[in-house]
Chains A and B, each alone.
Chain A
Amino acid sequence: MIEFHNVTKRFEGGYEALSNVSLKLDEGHMAFITGHSGAGKSTLLKIIALIEKPTRGQALLNRVNLNTMPRRRVPYIRRNIGIIFQDHQLLFDRNVFDNVSLPLHIQGYRPQEIAKRTRAALDKVGLLHKEKSLPITLSGGEQQRVGIARAVVHKPMLLLADEPTGNLDPELSREIMQIFVDFNQVGVTVLVASHDLDLIDELDKPRITLNRGKLVLNDLEDIPQEADGGWQ
């Protein structure tokens, strides 16, 4: 599903967020990315979500090269991905139902289908009774669950989460992580960036650890590291 071959991301000013990272996450698997803040976790997710492009190396999603993706195809690639942000990125001018159904509108589903799928997604995160509420009236944990419902409503193949439990207490964090595990059990590939090591230990899933942009631990299937600059 995801393949990185010697990916380096250098920002303007010379700061290297990722250095020569190679990894492979198979379809239907779930993994955690850990590391201190600034280790490159977010950058790794952003490359997969086509928000950033690698400076060097090659990033593949479903064998499609993300480096050379033309701009007009980016939206269609993103429709296969569900992204969950630490700060939920909900739209506060509309209610929970409208927030969650947004991806379906974008993909041109029919109204009946939109209602059905949106309610199913809300049901999955236990917020069916809140569909008419405005996000601002919800608690932090509920807002995060709305964010998750929106990320999964269109049944993406891949779920990316960037610090989804960052602002939540341990009990809520555990609930959120359990939702991700549940999705993985029905076949969705899941990649979660988190520094909540205690929680990750409980879940017994492969781990990728980054330190200052370098891969220091990789529980996933190895792919041969090539000489620096082998992939352009």
Chain B
Amino acid sequence: MAGSNIRRKKLATSNRISAYLLHHLQSLMFSLRKIYAAPATTIMTVAVIGITLSLPGGFYLFLKNIDAISGDFRSSSQISLFLALELSEKQARALDKKISKMELVDSTRFISRDKSLEEFRQDSGFGKSIDTLSSNPLPHTIIVEPGEADTFAVRNLLNSLQAMPEVKIAKLDTEWLERLYTIIEIARRSVVIITVLFSCAVLLIIGNTIRLDIQNRYQEIIVTKLIGATDAFIRRPFLYGGVWYGLLGGIISWLIVEIGYLAISGPLGRLNLLYKSDMNLITFSFHDFIILITSSTLLGLAGSWIAVARHLNQIEPS
């Protein structure tokens, strides 16, 4: 008797859980059907959300590309050492060997005076005028590639190299790089600000859409409350509506950004050809895509939650 009671209770609980899940599924389908039934309204709302989110999305991608390019620069930052003119090639080669064994130094490349002159003669087009020079004005040069190190360590290396008596000039062109990094940092913060602002805009758009939706279904809410619907039951389709708006808006913003980058990639290819460079446009990775979609969906849920919390409780049968 007691056993059958427990079994019945268990059965009732599992029934209730499956009924609960069923209603979630029904709310999901119901909100989807509503979207399907009013495509014009939905498309407009979703397009506004998509366009709004494509701005921070696009900026983020822009930043990601700049980051990748400047990362190449960072790894290729080298120190050029112009040695004193009176140094013989033998002495210079000995110095090269010494420097290559220093800490922080990844590799070095020695360019003798003669080779420098030869290269200059070929590349510059001043061959004839160089021939008129009585002696070679170019010094021996050592190109130092620092290993993985931060700017500060590279700067220390530069100072110690500069301090060597054989070295006339040690040159590290990092100033423009630092300027670039500062600009990137400004851009990065701008992207954060834009993202926050536009997320708020999406929150408001979705909140307002759901608010109108609630007003349109005023009668339905009253009736369902009168026949015993809980607040959670009434809330659910609206929340799913917000989730759909967010999800679809996220997908549209992704499409907008991808199409925008497709449009840019043509001229960029030509630019690559002209500069003989190898810049590749980075688009959204799968990880980025998931983050974009998840956050837009969560924005949709949050926006509808705000609307529902504000307006649903005010609707009571009278």
Using a CB–CB distance below 8 Å, which chain A residues touch chain B? 49, 51-52, 72, 75-79, 81, 83, 89, 91, 93, 102-103, 105-111, 150-151
**Whole-angstrom distance between the alpha carbons of A105 and B22 in the complex?**
10
Contact of B22 among A52, A77, A108 (CB under 8 A): A108
The verdict on B317 contacting chain A, using a C-beta distance below 8 Å, is: yes
Please state if B233 and A106 are interface contacts (CB–CB under 8 Å). Answer: yes
Please state if A150 and B16 are interface contacts (CB–CB under 8 Å). Answer: no
* B144 CB to nearest A CB, Å: 74
Using a CB–CB distance below 8 Å, which chain B residues touch chain A? 15-16, 18-20, 22-23, 26, 219-220, 222-231, 233, 316-318
Chain A residues, Cβ within 8 Å of B225: 75, 78
Given contacts A51-B317, A89-B222, contact A108 B227 (CB under 8 A): no
* B107 CB to nearest A CB, Å: 72
* B109 CB to nearest A CB, Å: 77
Closest to A107 in B: B228
Chain B residues, Cβ within 8 Å of A78: 225-228
8 new A-B contacts at CB < 8 Å, known A51-B316, A75-B229, A91-B220:
A75-B230, A89-B226, A107-B228, A108-B16, A108-B19, A108-B20, A110-B15, A150-B227
Please state if A79 and B228 are interface contacts (CB–CB under 8 Å). Answer: yes
**Whole-angstrom distance between the alpha carbons of A103 and B224 in the complex?**
8
Q: What are 29 of the A-B contact pairs (CB < 8 Å)?
A: A51-B317, A75-B228, A75-B230, A75-B231, A75-B233, A78-B225, A79-B227, A81-B228, A83-B226, A83-B227, A89-B223, A89-B226, A91-B219, A91-B220, A102-B224, A103-B228, A105-B23, A106-B224, A106-B227, A106-B228, A106-B229, A106-B230, A106-B233, A108-B15, A108-B16, A110-B15, A110-B19, A110-B22, A111-B22
**Whole-angstrom distance between the alpha carbons of A106 and B222 in the complex?**
13
Most buried by A among B19, B219, B226, B317: B226
Most buried by A among B19, B227, B317: B227
* A157 CB to nearest B CB, Å: 13
**Whole-angstrom distance between the alpha carbons of A49 and B219 in the complex?**
17
**Whole-angstrom distance between the alpha carbons of A111 and B230 in the complex?**
20
**Whole-angstrom distance between the alpha carbons of A78 and B16 in the complex?**
19
Chain B residues, Cβ within 8 Å of A107: 228
* A99 CB to nearest B CB, Å: 9
* B35 CB to nearest A CB, Å: 15
* B12 CB to nearest A CB, Å: 11
* B228 CB to nearest A CB, Å: 4
Please state if B318 and A51 are interface contacts (CB–CB under 8 Å). Answer: yes
Chain A residues, Cβ within 8 Å of B318: 51-52
Closest to B233 in A: A106
Chain B residues, Cβ within 8 Å of A79: 227-228
* A149 CB to nearest B CB, Å: 12
Closest to B316 in A: A51
Chain A residues, Cβ within 8 Å of B223: 89, 91, 102
